Structure 1
């Protein structure tokens, strides 16, 4: 899934998925393929990869990346994910 198209328009599914992503994955036949824990100091972020049960050319995988909160010092850290 893409959050926005090349022309800047938002993907209409983004809001629906963010509202209740676990329900959305079930309703759209995605299953959890892998959970990737990312640990930085005292912070744990779990990145989950879902796979479409039907092998499709488009949107076969959904990667859920939760929002990363700012720490108490309000410093910014960058999380880079290379696929």
Structure 2
């Protein structure tokens, strides 16, 4: 029997990555399509076209002001 485990992204307070637990700044945890981009010109960054497939990914701001992002498979656990 399989079950769907539902985690409300806005309620995630900590994320466990290979280097340890990271505190999530208030409701900044997001899940979506993950694809690398070039440049640094805000929302108009040029997509890397040779990466055809997008994969599930995550992004959040930690309490130190850093933005962390990566493939969803790099998350080992979450706390809410």
Superposed pair shares fold, TM > 0.5? no
| TM-score after normalising by structure 1 | 0.25
| TM-score after normalising by structure 2 | 0.26
Determine which structure has the larger strand proportion and give its number.
2
Greater RCO between the two (CA within 8 Å, min separation 6)? 2
Determine which structure has the larger helix proportion and give its number.
1
